[in-house]
Each structure stands twice: as structure tokens, then as C-alpha cells.
Structure 1
Amino acid sequence: MAGGQASVDQRLPASKPLVTFSNIDKTYDGETFVTRNLNFTIQEGEFLSLLGPSGSGKTTTLMMLAGFEAPSGGTVYLGQSRLNETPPHRRNIGMVFQNYALFPNMTVAENIAFPLSVRRVPKSEQRSRVERALGMIELVHVAGRRPAQLSGGQQQRVALARALVFEPKLVLMDEPLGALDKNLRETMQYEIKRIHERLGVTVVYVTHDQSEALTMSDRVAVFHHGRIQQIATPKILYEDPANAFVANFIGENNGLPGTVTARDARFATLALTPELSIRGRAGEGVAIGTAATLALRPENVSLDDETGGENNHLRGSIDEVIYCGDHWRLHLTAADRAGFVIKVPNKTAMAPPQPGMVATMSWSPDDCKIVAADGA
């Protein structure tokens, strides 16, 4: 599913770019950069999530696209049109916020109709569009209620309908599910994704929740220190991270550090200690003599008494055993470091592992990656 630049911008199959960020910088004092050298495109009909920790630059990037922040350098394009000087209300972009931003003195129907009224859409067309929008979010029965009379999930659906009712090409969502409880949040994730797929609108979605980004997105842009570390499909981000930051931020990772002692076109050898080395797929920028990190998912490790063959082998002492129903979660000390995690399938005939046991772990070099140590 991917192509383009090998480690940073991995694109979906070719389609028409809708948004382009070209050499975008943002600074408030001329010295500290909130974002630095952003270069990426958003394709028409795509669901792109901007993911990263607090202060990584993802929300500022969204606000520059919306027009609420101005770039300090570079250009934002919508299609072929430069957006830098275009005020927010003339960008024809829908917005959904975490706090819903509904008008408390208006009914649900009036809230949804508001973007149409400011665009001077005829009343008859407003009514038909509002009816369609209410049907889309399955809230026809609450059209006459005020926002305070709705649940959080209902309010968020109204905010979504209001952002879509004037048929924008682009909808921006800033942590829209952050105020909802876990179950409702998961329900709304699928609801938003279903509406996106039905309408084909382009969505740019800001979140700090990696699970949410992986569940909903066609692609995810991972931010750190104002730069995009990698932009790719969820599968590529999880299975082929570009660097240590991406590997550690997306899902669980056994990130043992070491020094690269050998590499070829495909694989690298990482010395974890002077006596212990492992092999894995070689990431970009990994060179002999440089510091690097193992990227290994817990589910790719097996308990194995055999030590021959091409697989990597590592012995560790089991510190903690957690029963998780379909699997056992083991925390071990390995290569002189605590916190190594593996997931062992729970089989009826298997004697459960016990703390204090010494275990031999194995995994294929194809199932791990040696990545650059610093993703900043």
C-alpha cells in the first residue's frame, strides 16, 4: 500500500492531492520552533491522523490549515490555491472541536443549519440538508432539543453533522472524542469512520491516542518536537517504524539499545552487550559503529528451548507473570535490562510460567528491526 519516500512519507495509491504543506515553519519568538520544515500532502478522500505527544506540533499544524494560526515560513495549499492569507471563514473547511462548540440557545436543527445560514443558502434547501444530516447521524428525533438536553455522544454527532452539512471538501477534527468515556469513545470512532467512508470527505484528525489513530486512519503522521517522524499507513507504522521514537510511541516495543557491528543491504547486527548480538532488518540511517535500538513487538517473541538455526535467541529472567485470558504477559530482565515484555499464548496443556524462571526467547530477524536511536 505504500510508496514514495522510504522512511518518512509513505503514501496511499495515487490520487489527487487536496492539501500540501510546503516547507512550513512555525515560531512565536523567532528562536523556538513549534513546527519545523513540514513537507507532506493530504490526498483527496483520505482520513489522515496527526498523532503525537503534547507539545509535538500536531494541533498547531491543524490550526495553520484551519487559518487560526499563520505559518512563519512556507506555504499551505488547498488544491492549487495558496491559503496563507485566506481568512478561516473563506477556506470552506469544516471543524469539529473537543468541546463541541454548539450554541446553547439554539436547537439541534438550528445548530446544524447555522453554517448554511451564514452562507445564505435558501431556507428550503437548509431544511432539506438539515434533515439529511440528522438522518445521517440518526438523531432526527432530537431536532427540537437544545444541546444541554443531549448526551455527550449525541452532542458530538451534532457537531459532526454541523461540520458536514455545507458539504466541505475538507473536515478538521481536533481531539473530538477526548471528553467521552471509553465505551462511547470507541463507538464514536467507528461512527466517524463510517460517515467518512460513506461521504468520501477528506478528514484531518488530531489525537494523542495511538489506538484511536490506528483504528480510524488511512494514514498517520507521527509528530515529535515539531517534525513529522513518519507518515504511513497504520500497518507500516506498527510493523516497519522509521526510528526509535515511532517504534516506542506506536504500540508496545522492546527497545533494547546497542551498537551496530555489521550491516548489509537488508539486515544489521546489533551488539546489546560485548557478548550478545542480535540481527534484524536494517532501518534507514543505521551504520556500523552507530548507536541503534531494537524494535521488537512482544507478540513476535516465542519461548523456545532450542538455540540453533537463524533465529535470534535471548535468555531472560521472568520478573512478573500476568494472566490476560487468551495469553500470559511476561515481564523479564534480559540483556541486563528490566522491562522486556513478551506475550505467550495461553494453551490448556501448557504449565504457566512462573516468576524466577529463566526463559529462552527466540524470534526471526525478519520480525524485528534495527532503527536509529534518536527520532528527534
Structure 2
Amino acid sequence: MKPFVTFTGVAKTYDGRQNVVQNLDLEIGRGEFVSLLGPSGSGKTTTLMMLAGFETPTEGEIALDGKRLNDLPPHKRNIGMVFQNYALFPHLTIAENVAFPLSVRGVPKAEQKTRVARALAMVELPQVANRRPGQLSGGQQQRVALARALVFEPSLVLMDEPLGALDKRLRETMQYEIKRLHHELGLTVVYVTHDQGEALTMSDRVAVFFDGRIQQIAAPDVLYEDPQNAFVANFIGENNGIAGTVRHVSDDWAVMEVGGVAISGKTGRDLAPGAPAVLALRPERAFLLPPPGAELNRLPGTVADVTYCGDHRRLLVRLAAGGDFVLKAPNTDGHVLPPAGTAVEVGWRPADCKILTPPPVA
């Protein structure tokens, strides 16, 4: 299938020396929900602004449905935009706010009224048409901003941290609403966030940005289960990034040494015997006191802390080889955990971990 949005060799610099986005190649399919995820300064928002037309690429080409966008002004791109701060006009009614993109496009008044009513119904706010933004809650204002972005039936909708100003409950409600509209309307959505949970729960694919580059783009479960480098492993979810030294590498498996103990795992890229390495292991994949004889990785340590987290308990184990190890134990009846100060052994299956090259030093 032909991609709907394409970035080809795109770079952006503001000072002519340092690229905030570099060598960006990205393809997004029609109807796909793709999140751009990364820490502040990683290049994700600049990428979105170049697609919207508010920034111009220094190098490369951006295309929408096969048409080059680089020299096209924002209002001619047929792209809807939702911002974190809503960007509603306080002196206009909600209906007038939603109608604004239609009025600047010269849509007749009668059609504007019909389309505004339909857009407000989409976000389940038909009753607020005659109010002003200051009379609405934050969640309602964000729904109005979403209605305004959809009212002119754009080919693409861009969202820049749209839920960042909302509290946790409202954020979760709006995540559901955005996904509902995405499915019902067949929208193509590019969504910028620094919230990994938000990206994982909402997206078809997630592009993880760092240092102006996409480190990995994949479905949420692939990112979490099979990170391609140590940055992705540490940024997506919680990770036991234990340091060691590579002892052996094959096509599928690698062995690293941690404090004199051999640890086996799936092999990452660019590993070499004798080189430093880090482990990628999710806390829920490890367990205490593994049975003897099982083909497992094992490390001795001492329980340093046990924290109650509702559906699980989080154990911090201080390893004998140095460093901390985190595991999550389900909070079930009869599951008694050793108290702090107890000598234990942690274990996990080799297939549940990956051995990677260390992240670059900032």
C-alpha cells in the first residue's frame, strides 16, 4: 500500500550547525494512528511542526498523499491541528470557534451550521454551542478543540501533547474519545507525546525519538517486548539495565558476564566479545527464589525494599555483583514475600531478556 505521509531524508537546523532532526525517513499509512514519543528536545515536536507547515525542513522532502508539502502554506495542507492549550478564541461562542476553519475556507453559512452541529455531536457536546470557552471545563474545551480540528474533514489530524493539561482521569477519558473518533471516522493521526503509557495504549505504531533521530518505530507490544537498543529499553516501561561484559555472541543468542555469573539472552545489534553490554529485562518477567535445576538466569542479592502497589508488590533487590534489580510480584493470597534484609536469588528465562550495547554517553 502506498504511504499516505512520507518524510524522506528530512533534517532541520535552526543555527546551521546542529540538527534538531536528522536524516528522518518515515512512512505513515492512511488511517494509521502513529505517536511520536521521546524526551524534551528529541525532535518529535519539530517533526510535527514541519508536517503542519509551521516549520520548514532544512533538507529533504515531506509529502502527503504523494504531493510535496515543503512549499505549501499551512492553510492549504488540509491538516487539522489540536494543541495542548486548546487555542480557542475566548470572545467567540463554541459554535463560532468550531466554525472558524470553515469560515476561512469560504464555506456557506448554512453548511457551516450543519457541519458544526455534526462536529459537536461527534465529541458529545451539542449542548454547549452557545457558551464561551471560559464557561467550560478543561476536558470540554479539549473536546471542542478536537471538534474544530475535524469540522472541515481534514485528510490528516495532528495532535501536539493534546492531553498534557488535563488531570489523570480526564486524560484517560479523552484517550478513549480520541481512539473512538479515530476508528469511527477512519482518521489518520500523528500524535506527539512524552507520556509512554499514552503512546502505548493509543497507537498503531510508536516512533521513539532521541537526539533528532527515530531510534525505533514499531507496534507498542514490539517496542516493549523487543527493544532494538538500550535507549528504547530504558525509555519504554521499566527496565533492569544491569551492566556487564559480552562473553559470546551468535546470530540469536549472547552471553554476558555480571560479577562472574554468566547471563544468557537474545542478542542485540553490534555486540562484540569483550565489549560492555547492558541487560534489557522487564521487572514482571523476573521472579524470586527460582527452582533448582531450571534453565534460568540467576543472580544472588538481598531484598532492600518491598513496596505495595495495589495489584502487585515492587521488590528492590541489591545484587551481590553490585547494582539494583527490580521485580514485580503479583499481589495474590498466600503469596508471602521475604522482608527487607533477606538474602535471595532472582531468576528469569533467557528468552525473556535481551543483551544490548550500552546507550551513548550524553
**TM-score in terms of structure 1 length:** 0.93
| In the alignment, structure 1 residue 46 sits paired with structure 2 residue 32 | yes
Q: 2:50 is paired with a residue of what secondary structure?
A: helix
Q: How does 1:224-303 map to 2 (within 5 A)?
A: 224-273=210-259, 275-303=260-288
Q: How does 1:286-325 map to 2 (within 5 A)?
A: 286-325=271-310
1:29-57, Cα deviation, whole Å (9 max, x unpaired): 12111011111111110111000001111
Amino acid across the alignment from 1:113: A
Q: Report if the CA contact (8 A) 2:13-2:58 is conserved.
A: yes
Residue number in structure 1 paired with 2:59: 73
Aligned counterparts of 2:335 and 2:171: Cα–Cα separation in 1 = 37
Q: Report if the CA contact (8 A) 1:307-1:313 is conserved.
A: no
Q: 1:17 is paired with a residue of what secondary structure?
A: coil
Partner of residue 185 from structure 2, selected from 176, 179, 199: 199
Amino acid across the alignment from 1:75: E
Aligned counterparts of 1:36 and 1:201: Cα–Cα separation in 2 = 28
Aligned counterparts of 1:338 and 1:266: Cα–Cα separation in 2 = 27
Residue number in structure 2 paired with 1:213: 199
Residue number in structure 2 paired with 1:331: 316
Q: 1:56 is paired with a residue of what secondary structure?
A: coil
Partner of residue 160 from structure 1, selected from 146, 150, 153: 146
Aligned-residue offset at 1:340: 1.2
Residue number in structure 2 paired with 1:12: none
Aligned counterparts of 2:63 and 2:344: Cα–Cα separation in 1 = 55
Q: 1:189 is paired with a residue of what secondary structure?
A: helix
Aligned counterparts of 1:104 and 1:239: Cα–Cα separation in 2 = 45
Q: Report if the CA contact (8 A) 1:269-1:280 is conserved.
A: yes
- CA change 1:179–1:326 in 2 (3 A) is closer
Aligned counterparts of 1:93 and 1:340: Cα–Cα separation in 2 = 46
Q: Report if the CA contact (8 A) 1:243-1:375 is conserved.
A: no
- CA change 1:335–1:73 in 2 (3 A) is farther
Aligned counterparts of 2:188 and 2:274: Cα–Cα separation in 1 = 44
Q: How does 1:120-135 map to 2 (within 5 A)?
A: 120-135=106-121
Aligned-residue offset at 1:306: 2.6
Identity %: 63
1:237-282, Cα deviation, whole Å (9 max, x unpaired): 0000011000000000000112211121211111122x11201111
- CA change 1:133–1:264 in 2 (3 A) is same
Amino acid across the alignment from 2:53: G
| In the alignment, structure 1 residue 30 sits paired with structure 2 residue 16 | yes
Q: Which runs of 5+ in 2 are unaligned?
A: none
Aligned counterparts of 2:71 and 2:290: Cα–Cα separation in 1 = 65
Aligned-residue offset at 1:287: 2.7
Aligned-residue offset at 1:326: 2.9
Q: 2:277 is paired with a residue of what secondary structure?
A: strand
Q: 1:55 is paired with a residue of what secondary structure?
A: coil
Amino acid across the alignment from 2:353: C
Q: 1:286 is paired with a residue of what secondary structure?
A: coil
Q: Report if the CA contact (8 A) 1:96-1:173 is conserved.
A: yes
| In the alignment, structure 1 residue 90 sits paired with structure 2 residue 76 | yes
Q: 2:4 is paired with a residue of what secondary structure?
A: strand
Amino acid across the alignment from 1:282: T
- CA change 1:153–1:305 in 2 (3 A) is closer
| In the alignment, structure 1 residue 21 sits paired with structure 2 residue 7 | yes
Q: 2:124 is paired with a residue of what secondary structure?
A: coil
1:204-227, Cα deviation, whole Å (9 max, x unpaired): 000000011011111100001111
Aligned counterparts of 1:295 and 1:342: Cα–Cα separation in 2 = 13
Aligned-residue offset at 1:110: 0.8
Aligned-residue offset at 1:324: 2.3
**TM-score in terms of structure 2 length:** 0.97
Q: 2:16 is paired with a residue of what secondary structure?
A: coil
Query: Over aligned residues, Cα RMSD in angstroms?
Result: 1.3
Q: Report if the CA contact (8 A) 1:313-1:360 is conserved.
A: yes
Partner of residue 353 from structure 1, selected from 325, 334, 338: 338
Aligned-residue offset at 1:335: 4.9
Residue number in structure 2 paired with 1:138: 124
Q: Report if the CA contact (8 A) 1:304-1:362 is conserved.
A: yes
Residue number in structure 1 paired with 2:354: 369
Residue number in structure 2 paired with 1:110: 96
Q: 2:323 is paired with a residue of what secondary structure?
A: strand
Residue number in structure 2 paired with 1:222: 208
Amino acid across the alignment from 1:308: G
Q: 2:159 is paired with a residue of what secondary structure?
A: strand
- CA change 1:281–1:305 in 2 (3 A) is closer
Q: 1:197 is paired with a residue of what secondary structure?
A: helix
Equivalent residues, number:
361
